[in-house]
Amino acid sequence: MKTLLIAASLFAATSAFAADGSFTKVDKAEGSAAIENGNTKLAHQQALDAAIRDALVKGAGAQLDSVTMTEGAELVRDTIFVHANGYVKSYSVAEDAQQQDGTWLVRLQDVVVGTGDLSKDAAAVRAELIRRGHPRLYALIREQAVETISGKNPGEKEKAGSATLAQLSQGVVEQGLISHMTPIGWQFVDPQVASGKVHVENAMTTDLGNLNGKDFALTGADYVILGSVIARPVEGGAFGVSTVQLRTVLYVKATDTGETVASVEKSENVASTFSINDASTKAMEKAGAELAEALQKQVLELWRKQRGGVGKVVLTVAVADYDTLQAFEEQLSKGVANVKSVDEVSFNDGRAELSVGLAGTSPKQLAGSLSSKSVKGMQVKVTKVTTNTVEVKLVR
Local structure of residue 230 (DSSP, 8 states):
E
Q: How far apart are CA 151 and CA 158, in angstroms?
A: 7
> Coil, strand or helix: which one is 67?
strand
Distance CA 305, CA 293 (A): 18
Burial of 150 (0-12, 13-18, 19+ CB in 10 A): exposed
- Residue-level pLDDT, tens digit, the chain, 396 residues: 444 443 333 333 333 334 344 878 888 888 888 887 788 887 888 788 888 888 877 876 655 444 444 444 454 444 444 445 567 778 888 888 888 888 889 999 888 887 777 677 777 777 778 777 788 999 888 887 665 544 443 334 444 444 444 444 458 888 888 888 888 888 898 877 766 667 665 556 667 878 888 888 888 899 999 988 887 777 765 656 677 778 888 999 999 989 898 988 888 777 766 766 777 777 777 788 888 888 888 888 877 776 666 678 899 999 989 999 999 999 888 888 778 888 999 999 899 999 988 876 678 888 888 887 888 889 999 999 988 899 999 988
How far is the C-alpha of 216 from the C-alpha of 138, rounded, in Å? 8
The conformation of residue 73, written as its DSSP 8-state character, comes to T
* Alpha-carbon torsion angle 294, 251, 345, 49, nearest 10: -30
Strands 136-148, 223-233: pairing kind: parallel
Q: What secondary structure does DSSP assign to 373-392, as a single string?
A: -EETTEEEEEEEE-SSEEEE
What is the distance between the alpha carbons of residues 113 and 396, in angstroms, rounded to a whole number? 47
Question: What is the Rg, in whole angstroms, of the alpha carbon atoms belonging to the chain?
Answer: 26
d(Cα 13, Cα 165) in Å, to the nearest integer?
55
0.85 exceeded by pTM: no
Backbone angles phi, psi at 187, to 5 degrees: -120, 135
Cβ–Cβ under 8 Å, residues 345 and 362: no
The predicted structure's pLDDT at residue 68:
46
Cα 230 to Cα 178: distance, rounded to the nearest angstrom = 19
Report DSSP state, residue 171.
-
